[in-house]
Amino acid sequence: MFALYLKTKNFHWHLSGPHFRDYHLMLDEQGDQIFATTDALAERARKVGGTTLRSIGHIARLQRLADNDADYVTPEDMLAELAEDNRRVIGFLRAAHVVCEDHNDVASTSLIEVWIDEAERRAWFLFECTRAAD
């Protein structure tokens, strides 16, 4: 989730164009939501005796979403990339839900269901912002 948070903030900081304000505010809101998920996820891991991410290097070794270090990305490409990343995160969360369910971890499955819903909403908003007018 932290990789998605950082990419969302990267695009938030580097947006340009006629829809700058709307996209900038939307990505700021989404970044805040993802960060909150990251914190809750880490706290849940600690509650059940696990460990959390320890460094940027640790994140890099574990991340499953591609970075985007391009000097310029169009706003439409930013939104499309984030929509796809959120859809991938939904898949990761669904897989984690199955593991938690298999271990009867009701608290984790409950949290994951909320995070899936939030990611679905983010993906939906991002997709709708990239649709061509009919």
Domain ranges within the chain, ordered by starting residue = 2-52+73-130
**Range 2-52+73-130 has CATH code 2.130.10.10:** no
Task: Kindly report, residue by residue over 11-40, the tens digit of the pLDDT.
Answer: 999 999 999 999 999 999 999 999 999 999
The pTM assigned to this predicted structure is: 0.93
Q: Which of 97, 128, 96, 133 is nearest to 22 (CA)?
A: 128
Distance CA 31, CA 24 (A): 10
Token pair of 108 as six digits: 């984790």
pLDDT of residue 132: 74
Place of tokens 């070794």: 61
